[in-house]
Amino acid sequence: MSAEMTDPRPSPVAWRPEHLRLAIDAACVALWSWNVDSNRFTMDERAFELWGLPWTREVQFETLSAHIHPADRDRVRAAFLATRSVAGPYEIDFRIVLGHEVRWISARGQGADAGIVDRIMFGIFLDVTGRKQAEEGHELLAGEMSHRVKNLLAVATGLTHISSRSAATIGEMSSELIGRLTALGRAHDLVRPLPGHEGTAVLLGDLFAVLLAPYDDTGAFAGRIRIAVQRMGVGERTARTLALVIHELATNSLKHGALSVDTGTLDVSSSSDESDITITWAESGGPVIEEAPEMGGFGSKLLARSVAEQLDGAITYDWLPTGVIATLRMRKDRLAA
């Protein structure tokens, strides 16, 4: 029996150039070659589309570098130069900027001039934006969960302190604390997505009332937390974002602001125009604010990002000596989402 008849490998006819191109297109792979002497790239049409550039016969490395995210540019330049001396396969992930769009690209090839032909190296580009966004989402979720656990511990401590101020007996304190923690659990459900509740709506005032109920201290004096907002429906997705905002503001107030002392009060009000609604969170009677605190923590960043991306709005702070005034502006047409 001949070697040809016993060879299990596929026939060379399966790997004709047109078949290889079909496989490359199916995998969304973009091809490039790099002249290491002239520092010029030759790329296929998919690569030019990936970089958002019109097709040309050659493109200079500096032309491509101009489209790399400024935070990644120096790292990518150094990495490409290092491939000339580091043996083995390499993978360089970086961002490019196309107008307002940011894409993640993975450049892959062989280092130490392996496979070089006539001073030309070969490799591929892959669009890995989806994978990178998923990784960022997982990191954000992990950070958010850690932040929430820390906040919940602080809130539980604060609610215990509030209950101890107004209760006359241990039994009364226990009953009141259980009630507050139960209300906190209901409020916490609004901060996370619940299966089967998509598309439902709540009233804006009810949302604030439910979320702030655990923090009210009727034993100090009536009306410590006052809510006066317009009557309008809020969709499930927007309710979760607003719940996150309220929960973060209330936690900070319980730690450092008006809700941390007997004399503190909180007023929540709203106003609107044709396109936007503005919610004002005004604290007073708490510890004197001598200077504006740093707002670079995870909670502050998460808050700003959620408001900007999901509500098309912004949140600003006015740190008065008598208490903070937080102003949340968002588009009306986002409320029903």
Q: What count of other Cβ atoms lies within 10 Å of the Cβ of residue 110?
A: 16
How would you label 299-308 residue by residue, b for 16+ Cβ within 10 Å and e otherwise? bbebbeebbe
Q: Which of 110-114, 209-213, 223-227, 298-302 has the lowest mean pLDDT?
A: 298-302
User: Which amino acid is located at 52 in the chain?
Assistant: G
**Residue 90, SS3?**
strand
Average pLDDT over residues 66-71: 92
Looking at residue 327, what is its pLDDT?
94
Q: Say which CATH architecture domain 134-334 belongs to.
A: 2-Layer Sandwich (3.30)
Q: For 260-278, write each residue's pLDDT tens digit.
A: 888 889 999 999 998 899 9
Backbone angles phi, psi at 289, to 5 degrees: -95, 115
pTM of the predicted structure, to 2 decimals: 0.49
Does position 108 have pLDDT exceeding 70, yes or no? yes
Ordered DSSP codes for 263-289: T-EEEEEEEE-SSEEEEEEEEESSS--
Q: Where are the domains of the chain?
A: 3-127, 134-334
How would you label 265-278 residue by residue, b for 16+ Cβ within 10 Å and e otherwise? bbbbebeeeeeebe
Q: Tell the residue number behind the tokens 């990936």, with chain if given.
A: 50
Q: Residue 127 and residue 305: Cα distance in Å, rounded?
A: 25
Average pLDDT over residues 184-211: 64
| Token representation of residue 276 | 């936007």
| Token representation of residue 172 | 């009364």
| Token representation of residue 218 | 């009727």
Looking at residue 148, what is its pLDDT?
63
Please give the DSSP secondary-structure letter assigned to residue 61.
H
User: Which amino acid is located at 320 in the chain?
Assistant: L
Does position 290 have pLDDT exceeding 90, yes or no? no
State the fold for domain 3-127: Beta-Lactamase (3.30.450)
How does residue 49 score in pLDDT terms, banded at 50, 70 and 90?
very high
